Amino acid sequence: MKKAVAIPSSALVNETDDKIKAYKVWQIARAAAIFKIEMIYIYKDPRKNETEYIKEILEYLETPQYLRKYLIPLKQSLRFAGLLPPLSIPSHRPKHLKVGELREGVVRKVGPDGTSWVDIGLNALAAMKASKPVGARVTVRVCSKKPLVVEESEPEEYWGYKVKKARLKDLVGKSVILSRRGERISTQNKEKLRKPVLLFGSPVEGVVEIAEKLGIKIPESIPVINTIPDQGTETVRLEEAIISTLAVMNVMVW
């Protein structure tokens, strides 16, 4: 089962400091990477819409460091992103190269014979016998080091997450809703959790409240689960709820 989480565009509604906002997005990205989340959906909450900012930081963090200068333009919103710790996921390879390993690359130029020349984070470009446009991001396998030759490939291990905008009404039917008002998680109800998307509310409102503002009715058949019963604090922050829930899911369901 592919794993996905959905967060609202108001995920940072309580934060005003840009450095803290960036760090909170990193916490979400790091939790997603630890537990091998493959998709992060961002749905619009009328209270605050920072979809683009959250998406840009998440995508920046997922991109290997050596590709960022080609794939991610300089933006004011990313001015603190470079200070964030790396995710250290398998696609973020070091410069030490091994034949047979997979790496992420970007096509820098295309030769007259159709050969694509790919930057895979080394001093030299790698030749790839596949026609790809300049600027395309590709996953490749290293065929040889001298000469440096690669081929397109598909990773078999966890490789990172994608980020996608979504509408709440499109997510509800395939989600588990996480809420402190939900049913306490247990071995008896863990089968209810076998849904592709874990749906989180904002720091100030739950999914049900956000849905009501949008005129969306939550069907009674949708599981609403509390993964942090008997919490000792008045509230649980979104980034805390995400990592706590993913840890529980990792043991009980996945």
Q: What is the CATH number of the domain that holds 120?
A: 2.40.50.140
Helix (H) or strand (E) holding 116: strand 116-119
Regarding whether 79 and 8 lie in a shared domain, the answer is: yes
Regarding whether 177 and 147 lie in a shared domain, the answer is: no
Helix (H) or strand (E) holding 227: none
Per-residue confidence (pLDDT) for residue 143, from 0 to 100: 97
126-146 in b/e form (b: 16+ CB < 10 A) is bbbebebeeeeebebbbbeee
Amino acid letter for position 170: D
Regarding whether 168 and 147 lie in a shared domain, the answer is: no
Per-residue confidence (pLDDT) for residue 158, from 0 to 100: 96
In a domain, 54, yes or no: yes
Report, as an integer, the average pLDDT of 110-120: 94
Q: What is the CATH number of the domain that holds 195?
A: 3.40.1280.10
Q: How far is Cα 54 from Cα 200, in angstroms, rounded to an integer?
A: 15
Q: Is 114 left (phi over 0), alpha (psi -120 to 50) or beta?
A: left
In a domain, 93, yes or no: no
pLDDT at 4 over 70: yes
For the chain, the average pLDDT equals 93
pTM: 0.94
Report, as an integer, the average pLDDT of 66-90: 93
Name the residue range of residue 188's domain: 4-86+160-252
Amino acid letter for position 46: P
Per-residue confidence (pLDDT) for residue 12, from 0 to 100: 97
Q: How far is Cα 216 from Cα 42, in angstroms, rounded to an integer?
A: 17
End-to-end Cα separation, the chain, in angstroms: 8
In a domain, 95, yes or no: no
Domain stop point among 113, 131, 152: 152
In a domain, 97, yes or no: no
Regarding whether 219 and 139 lie in a shared domain, the answer is: no
Regarding whether 204 and 130 lie in a shared domain, the answer is: no
Regarding whether 168 and 142 lie in a shared domain, the answer is: no
Report, as an integer, the average pLDDT of 95-106: 93
Confidence grade of residue 185 (pLDDT, cut at 50, 70, 90):
confident
Confidence grade of residue 95 (pLDDT, cut at 50, 70, 90):
confident
pLDDT at 105 over 90: yes
Regarding whether 79 and 11 lie in a shared domain, the answer is: yes
Q: How far is Cα 223 from Cα 182, in angstroms, rounded to an integer?
A: 8
User: How many domains does the chain contain in total?
Assistant: 2
Regarding whether 37 and 113 lie in a shared domain, the answer is: no
Using an 8 Å Cβ cutoff, are 154 and 139 in contact?
yes
Per-residue confidence (pLDDT) for residue 130, from 0 to 100: 86
In a domain, 94, yes or no: no
Domain stop point among 127, 152, 177: 152
